[in-house]
Amino acid sequence: MSRFVDSGQYMFHRNLFKLDARPNQIRVTSSTGGVATGTVSDWLEDAPPPLTANPSYKSDFVDGYRHPQQLYSRAKEIARQYPDIAEIVYLPNQTNGYQRKAQATIGGTGQSAVVVSSAAWGHEGGNDVTVEFVDRPGADLPLTVEVAGKAVRVLLGTDASGAPASTATQVADALMTRSQGLIDRAHPYRTNAGTGIVAATAGPVALTDFLDQKRVGAPDGEVPRGPVTIPVLRIGKHRDGSKPGVLIQAQDHAREWVPATTSLESAERLVHNYRSDRETKKIVENTDVFFILSNNPDGANYSFYNFASQRKNMTNHCPNATADPGQRNSWGVDLNRNYRVGSGHDGYAGGSTNCVSGTYQGPEELSEPESKNIIWLVEKYSNIKFMMSVHSNGGQLFWQPGAYIADGRITTPRPPLGDEAFYWQSASRILSQVKAHRETVVTPENVGGSSDVLYSSAGNVREDLYYTYGIYAFGWEVGGSVYNPATGDWQGGSFQPEWVGNPELVSGHAETMEYANGIMEMFRVAADWGRDRKNPTSELVPGAGTYRGPVDVRFETSEPATIYYTTDGSRPTLQSPRYAATEFREPGQVFHVTETTTFRWFSVDSAGNIEKNYDPTKNDRRNNYRTATIKIAKR
């Protein structure tokens, strides 16, 4: 078994291997001689049949990858076709747009090189600008700039001998101040001091935004330039805030194409099966679902049309040292590092201050319109109680804690034991439905707090929504490795797998179908949560009684629930200590009782139901909380 160490801290040993027969027990022996034996349990227990088991159930609507224009067009068409259960909500903050300033790097990359950027966006006139550096005969000629229409001519200066004398810094300054507003930025190349003498160009150099090139195999059609208003497809029979809301947010990361098709497939299943499938009808009538099919349309278009590996949005916050066009595929903000809880700005690991890093967190928290929109949505629609941020392609399902401070590996707070148990229970249901499609199993080590199963991702959206608004916020890395029975190996996934491949192995289509099953089950989890009126029950184990000596006791609950308790004789309230978890993946704490102690407590389930209808906010005479006294007999 391999030792897993993260940020210098030992976490656990783990292994994944295939057995010919299912054992009843597993014995582990350490190199130091220790032995531990554990009973084998089923990872994914029997689950109700997936919705797709119904022969009349309609699925498999998405037949290929979709760029943002197609996704948004279909969302609007769904709202038009099914007005009784669907509508469009428009997010208020427009993106910065699939657009760039036109640029050119003139004179190579040395000390005499100049980087020039247009003031206008490329498609709004920047692409029409030309810049020419011109030598002139004569001595002691000044550096001057001429402008005719969109043509900028820099007449280079000379020294007393008539030799060229204009440095890159001088030329850049002249372009900034004398180009009649055509040039927005001009500077020496990257970190150069710009001391080199600028040479004349062979003729006018055309500036370009580099967005008119089409990657081989990219979709047909021109990408709309300029800011984008993102539509949210809202599906539910009762869209008045009375039902629990579920937010499905796909494609924060542009290169992740399957999350968008998975989310669209889920939306299609809801509207097409609402009138014909009883289980779908229950979902639509008992939840309020919000689909953001692509939260990063600018970056996604760039991924489809220009640079397939684009991760971030297209906002360029880079200073001159990294703002030349050779860096254009590295600009942008990682939207899933731009939030306010456990952020890189607060010292958490996993976000970068480097503007060309793949995890650049932005100049400040919530600097980007895309992240501002998510906060606006959950504040406007306070009934949103569940959220799934859909990513690819690791094959993980995770929640909080999602970030840590590297020095000491100090994570954001671990959820209360009751919330953590609810996450695990929900995960089992969701993953069982993924498995039902083609036996794909998301393994246990890939489920849990994301800082434990994946890595620290400072400033992610899930942390902000859970800790700020109390939303059960999941992260979904669809895809992952698939076992190949023909070779006995695991086949790894990718961000853009072939859409139709071997149906038993990795393909965009198979991932879309199986993970849509999981999203549909999440809707059922939310619907059940909204209808839950049953109070939890709990016990102190072993119970009240007299014991001859010290005894270890713990709490057990009938369902995922948080326990508040006291041992000092006071009545328990929501400010009392919470029954806590122990280590990662371990059950609740154990109390070692050495003297007579009375426990007073109550439990609260994930839906807010309180054991025995106890009201911890009122000091009434009933005091119908739970109580148990552990008596330690004196010898």
Task: Give the model's pLDDT for residue 489.
Answer: 80
Residues 339 and 463 in one domain: yes
Task: Give the model's pLDDT for residue 582.
Answer: 82
CB atoms near residue 231 (< 10 Å): 21
Domain end: 506, 527, 548, which one?
Answer: 527
Task: Give the model's pLDDT for residue 215.
Answer: 64
Task: Give the model's pLDDT for residue 405.
Answer: 97
Residues 77 and 166 in one domain: no
Identity at 165, one-letter amino acid code:
A
Residue 36 lies in a domain: no
How far is residue 135 from each of residues 146, 164, 186, 203, measured CA to CA in Å?
13, 7, 19, 11
Residues 420 and 384 in one domain: yes
Alpha-carbon distance of 388 to 543, in angstroms, equals 39
Domain end: 464, 494, 527, which one?
Answer: 527
| CB 613, CB 624: distance < 8 Å | yes
Task: Give the model's pLDDT for residue 201.
Answer: 98
Cis geometry, peptide bond prior to residue 142 (ω within 30 degrees of 0): no
Residue 29 lies in a domain: no
Provide the token pair at 467: 């800790």
Residues 554 and 489 in one domain: no
Instruction: Provide the domain count of the chain.
Output: 3
Element (H, E) at 171: helix 168-178
For strands 384-399 and 410-411, give the pairing. unpaired
Sign of CA dihedral 437, 442, 443, 444: negative
Angle at 142 between CA 139 and CA 143, to 5 degrees: 125
Residue 10 lies in a domain: no
Task: Give the model's pLDDT for residue 99.
Answer: 96
Residue 444 lies in a domain: yes
Residues 150 and 177 in one domain: yes
Residue 577 lies in a domain: yes
Residues 235 and 265 in one domain: yes
Cis geometry, peptide bond prior to residue 401 (ω within 30 degrees of 0): yes
- pLDDT tens digits along 378-409: 999 999 999 999 999 999 999 999 999 999 99
Domain end: 177, 206, 235, which one?
Answer: 206
| CB 350, CB 337: distance < 8 Å | yes
Nearest to 300 by CA among 266, 253, 351, 245: 253
HSE value, Cβ hemisphere, 13 Å, CA-based, for 125: 9
Provide the token pair at 486: 């023909």
Residues 180 and 270 in one domain: no
Residues 326 and 412 in one domain: yes
**90 is in which domain, residue-wise?**
47-95+226-527
Element (H, E) at 301: helix 297-305
Residue 80 lies in a domain: yes
Residue 569 lies in a domain: yes
| CB 483, CB 490: distance < 8 Å | yes
CB atoms near residue 272 (< 10 Å): 18
> What CATH number has the domain bearing residue 356?
3.40.630.10
Residues 309 and 455 in one domain: yes
Ramachandran assignment for 547, one of left (phi > 0), alpha (psi -120 to 50 degrees), beta (any other): beta
Residues 421 and 442 in one domain: yes
Sign of CA dihedral 188, 190, 191, 197: negative
Task: Give the model's pLDDT for residue 592.
Answer: 96
Task: Give the model's pLDDT for residue 432.
Answer: 94
How far is residue 140 from each of residues 132, 143, 157, 172, measured CA to CA in Å?
20, 10, 7, 20
Positions in the chain whose pLDDT score sits under 70 = 45-46, 213-218, 503-504, 635
Nearest to 333 by CA among 298, 291, 374, 292: 298
Residues 73 and 186 in one domain: no
Task: Give the model's pLDDT for residue 25.
Answer: 93
Residues 307 and 445 in one domain: yes
Residue 11 lies in a domain: no
Instruction: For 252-263, give the DSSP string.
Output: SSTT--HHHHHH
